[in-house]
């Protein structure tokens, strides 16, 4: 069964003024759609057909650039849309906040480390909050469409929060001001969804 572009969980303009409607529309209908189409083409007629995207990425053959780039793009954006919300922002609560404080000291220290991972990623890439078995959290960055599920990316655990720092994610609104986009991203983080992912994977 082919992979399908998931339904966006809110309208294109729902995250304004933090993320503008035109960026959302292009990002979703052009970029994410292309990753989905190209992933299906890359796995057609191979033993990867019928496997979950997580299984494909965990067992990724490094030499298969088409699956790496498009499979990563498909998975990363599937996660990205869900960890943002029109009612997002603020602070996490409960077990997730406790884990953030245990792993980083304070929420502000986590925020600074996550923002730095995004701001210092050279060129295109992602910043991640990952959970390892036992509930420890870690922050890291990956280039291009790589993510922590892939082998040998130097970034362990299961991603529960991802921030896209490719220019197509912010350039129409923020131009070269990536730190401003990162600050805006914190205003739309769906901590309820991040907490749900944390509870599943800790």
Residue 27 labeled ligand binder: yes
User: Given this model, what pLDDT does residue 165 score?
Assistant: 99
User: Given this model, what pLDDT does residue 1 score?
Assistant: 73
Q: What's the residue count for the chain?
A: 202
Q: Is residue 9 part of a domain?
A: no
Q: How far apart are CA 135 and CA 143, in angstroms?
A: 25
Average of per-residue pLDDT across 67-93: 98
Q: Is residue 86 part of a domain?
A: yes
Q: Is residue 163 part of a domain?
A: yes
Contact criterion met (CB below 8 Å) for 43 and 60: no
CATH number of the domain where residue 40 is located: 3.55.40.20
User: Given this model, what pLDDT does residue 8 score?
Assistant: 98
pLDDT at 38 over 90: yes
Sign of CA dihedral 182, 79, 53, 58: positive
User: Given this model, what pLDDT does residue 82 score?
Assistant: 99
Contact criterion met (CB below 8 Å) for 182 and 188: no
User: Given this model, what pLDDT does residue 133 score?
Assistant: 84
User: Given this model, what pLDDT does residue 43 score?
Assistant: 97
Residue written as token pair 């994410």:
32
pLDDT band at 28 (very low <50, low <70, confident <90, very high): very high
Average of per-residue pLDDT across 79-87: 99
Residue 77 labeled ligand binder: yes
User: Given this model, what pLDDT does residue 134 score?
Assistant: 87
Domain count, the chain: 1
Residue 164 labeled ligand binder: yes
For 44-141, where are the alpha helices, taking DSSP H only? 53-58, 65-82, 94-104, 107-119
User: Given this model, what pLDDT does residue 190 score?
Assistant: 99
Residue 168 labeled ligand binder: yes
Q: How far apart are CA 43 and CA 92, in angstroms?
A: 38
Q: Is residue 12 part of a domain?
A: no
User: Given this model, what pLDDT does residue 42 score?
Assistant: 97
Domain membership of residue 71 as a residue range: 20-202
Q: Is residue 151 part of a domain?
A: yes
Average of per-residue pLDDT across 106-129: 98
* Structure tokens belonging to residue 142: 């990956």
pLDDT band at 173 (very low <50, low <70, confident <90, very high): very high
User: At a CB cut-off of 8 Å and minimum separation 6, what does 51 contact?
Assistant: none
pLDDT band at 61 (very low <50, low <70, confident <90, very high): confident
């Amino acid at each position: 069964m082919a992979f399908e572009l998931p339904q966006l969980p809110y309208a294109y303009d729902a995250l304004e003024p933090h993320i503008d409607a035109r960026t959302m529309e292009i990002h979703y209908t052009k970029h994410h759609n292309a990753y989905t189409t190209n992933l299906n083409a890359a796995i057609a007629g191979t033993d990867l057909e019928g496997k979950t995207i997580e299984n494909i990425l965990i067992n990724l053959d490094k030499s298969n650039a088409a699956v790496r780039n498009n499979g990563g793009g498909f998975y990363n954006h599937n996660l990205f849309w869900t960890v943002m919300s029109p009612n997002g922002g603020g602070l996490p609560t409960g077990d997730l906040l406790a884990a953030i404080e245990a792993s980083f000291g304070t929420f502000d220290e986590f925020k600074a480390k996550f923002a730095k991972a995004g701001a210092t990623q050279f060129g295109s890439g992602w910043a991640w909050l990952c959970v390892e078995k036992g509930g420890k959290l870690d922050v890291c960055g990956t280039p291009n469409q790589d993510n922590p599920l892939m082998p040998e990316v130097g970034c362990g655990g299961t991603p529960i929060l991802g921030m896209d720092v490719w220019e197509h994610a912010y350039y129409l609104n923020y131009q070269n001001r990536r730190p401003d986009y990162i600050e805006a991203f914190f205003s739309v983080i769906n901590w309820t969804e991040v907490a749900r992912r944390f509870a599943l994977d800790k």
